[in-house]
Chain A
């Protein structure tokens, strides 16, 4: 969402719109995490008045989608692909193959056993 997006590009490396979007989501989630946790705490705390808990539930559901952690998806830093991204290298499988064959990933070799 444009209200959250940085006015100036604050990323480097491979960039496309989906990468920028994911980056924005990460920033927003980090920014709003204490609020979310506070609301979750209020909802679960049975010693608090029922009204406050119900209100907190509503508030939590009202919060922006970008403040959810589930919106974050790992993307390939070299190609922006979201599928089959290897955590160790943060690269999708095709980029991994290319870089590994070129010898750019330290220690990674073709295996045969």
Chain B
């Protein structure tokens, strides 16, 4: 930006500057002379163009003009150099050498794979309080999915979550003066369709590794199995039950508790632990 600023100057200074500069080129005078004429021309153009005629205004205009004047050689007459403006030079920068395709793709919309069957495999929800971060990260996720060969749909903008709070500004007496606060959570849904489950895992791991600040992620993953699954699960159930039995039998019990005290109700009810509320005076009162 700092490099471009002289041109901005030119545009900002506006009509009066252009008139003045053209005068320099026409006259082809030494620098010291132009300064003396500058005062006159600047003030004249101001008064003629905007009907102000203010001395202070012309002064500020000249202070704006000066940095450009200094660049011109002092002793020689001002010569117009064939320097193109920055915008033009930047436009021509990629004429001879192009960027790598992958880098160039960053300037275009993210590429997508086509889904063959359209079976949803993974739902990734991104949440953030700022649109910029969210959009950026959603874009990043799309590109990562492309290079992992994952067909993707989205980002779908889900409804915003708006939370609002109202509080009195000070004590309860001043209930009439309250203040509202809000927090708007923005959401994007990215769905992966019929991708390889390992690739999906890799994608999610990659996104976690490169997690962006202020963007939260939540993923639902679905896996598809053969129709034999129910049968296999029934077969595996017996063994699972056997393994779980010792844990389930002790459900709701303390881990440190021994099996001896488990049984009797009367023992439990006479437990010292239950009547631990005996304070220092409880014994004195009873005795």
A interface residue numbers (CB < 8 A to B): 1, 3, 32, 34-35, 37-39, 42, 48, 52, 55-56, 59, 62-65, 84, 86, 88, 93-94, 96-97, 100, 105-112
Contact = CB atoms under 8 A, between A and B. Distances in A.
Contact of B182 (A94, A96, A108): A108
Contact of B165 (A86, A94, A107): A86
Contacts of B265: 42, 48, 52
A109 B182 contact: yes
A2 to B, nearest CB: 10
B259 to A, nearest CB: 16
B269 A108 contact: no
Given A63-B274, A112-B180, 18 more contacts: A3-B279, A34-B254, A35-B273, A35-B274, A37-B252, A38-B252, A52-B266, A62-B277, A64-B276, A84-B167, A93-B167, A100-B181, A107-B184, A107-B185, A108-B182, A108-B183, A110-B180, A111-B182
Given A35-B274, A42-B265, A63-B274, A106 B129 contact: yes
For the complex, would chain B's binding face be called helix, strand, loop or mixed by DSSP majority?
mixed
Nearest to A66: B277
A38 B273 CA distance: 13
Interface in B67-110: none
A63 B275 contact: yes
A22 B242 CA distance: 43
20 contacts: A32-B273, A34-B254, A35-B271, A52-B265, A52-B269, A59-B269, A59-B275, A63-B275, A86-B165, A94-B167, A97-B181, A100-B181, A105-B183, A106-B129, A107-B129, A109-B181, A109-B182, A110-B179, A111-B181, A111-B182
